[in-house]
């Protein structure tokens, strides 16, 4: 298993419950959930990844299991990892999803433009 499929199902369910349109895409050996064509949350192995407002990271780090995302062995500003114990409860999962959704409208899209358009 490249990523926690049960967590992926929980994230899908939470997005649907919140009325959020999303697309899931397998990438980086895991899965990423895009909202408005922008990376919002994802899963790498058993960890949840969330793209949040960089000004909210210190607050997020006070939550159980939350730490800097160091996928490339360097901290990535505005991205966090949450260990499984930090999203075991539905209310905790929803906290991190809502944090990512709040930042999504301000996040820059990494969608590539096609030349000639």
Ranges of each domain in the chain: 5-103
**Distance between CA atoms of residues 53 and 11, nearest Å:** 19
Report whether pLDDT(81) > 80.
yes
Q: Does the model's pTM come out above 0.95? A: no
Q: Count of residues for the chain?
A: 117
Q: Which CATH class is domain 5-103?
A: alpha beta
Q: What are 4-29's pLDDT values in tens digits?
A: 999 999 999 999 999 999 999 998 78
Residue 75 CA to residue 114 CA, distance in Å, equals 30
Cα gap 53→42, rounded to integer Å: 16
């Amino acid at each position: 298993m490249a990523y926690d499929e049960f967590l992926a199902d929980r994230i899908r369910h939470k997005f649907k419950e919140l009325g959020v349109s999303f697309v899931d895409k397998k990438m980086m050996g895991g899965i990423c959930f895009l909202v408005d064509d922008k990376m919002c949350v994802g899963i790498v192995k058993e960890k949840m990844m969330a793209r949040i407002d960089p000004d909210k990271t210190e607050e997020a780090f006070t939550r159980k299991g939350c730490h800097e995302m160091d996928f490339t062995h360097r901290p990535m500003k505005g991205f966090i990892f949450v260990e499984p114990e930090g999203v075991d409860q539905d209310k905790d999962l929803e906290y991190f999803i809502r944090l990512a959704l709040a930042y999504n409208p301000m996040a820059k899209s990494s969608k590539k433009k096609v030349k000639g358009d």
